[in-house]
Structure 1
Amino acid sequence: MVVLGVLSLVVALVALALALVLLRQVRSGRRTTSAELPEDVHGLRQEVAALRTEAKDALRHLAVVRYDAFGDMGGHLSWSVALLDDSGHGVVLTSIAGRSEARTYAKSIASWTCEQQLSPEELEAIDHARPKRR
């Protein structure tokens, strides 16, 4: 237990020393320019930009709405799920559970809309999956 306390104290002192060095650099007006950055940082920036571009097409906006499709059944066994990319392209999947069977539907979504008629639950799933503007 004592060793752990001493180790924690050493880590805290090292962190304090680093913070003081950084504070002195900021106070002295020394700033790092992009010319001073190592070459690998420029490569990392390019890679991050490429990943952001690639992620726009990923189905990363997701929402699930569970509900009772029929009044005589409980348990919210029916559901609609929206899987969309940043542009609102993707799919809405719906499963309607009955007493003896379940039916599943898939509808294509383009620019947050659908050519087929959507149920209120499907519209709700799309609305919940849509990123909120800040």
Structure 2
Amino acid sequence: MPVSAGDYYIRSQQPSGTFFGYHQVMTEPKTGYVRAVYCNTIFWVRKSTVLWTENEAKAGRHLFIEMNLNGDRKLICADPDEQVRLEDLGMKEAEVRRFRNSNGQLDQKKSRMNVLSEAFKQRK
């Protein structure tokens, strides 16, 4: 299902309803992001975002995907943590285990290297 224009976020909140944190998700492919389907809608997310949703849910927080457009929020998907797990991203079992043990740091190191690589390419 296509999504409309705006910024999309997976939002975490305490059981009391208090905001706790968020990760942005994309509607178009982007370097360092992988395809994930939440509530029959295709998004592009970092592997570390999927791990974050797993950890947030384990901590008892509630998760939602929301669209932000002109200051308004619209609920797109409830409980995204129940829809996509690291195993759903095509990662091998050993890679999933290493990624979880590193708490997503493998993904962040890769993205930093991508940024550095791009910076040097632009200088040529």
TM-score, normalised with respect to structure 2: 0.23
**Structure (1 or 2) with the larger CA radius of gyration:** 1
TM-score, normalised with respect to structure 1: 0.22
- Return the structure number with greater relative CO, CA threshold 8 A, min gap 6: 2
Greater fraction of residues in strand: 2
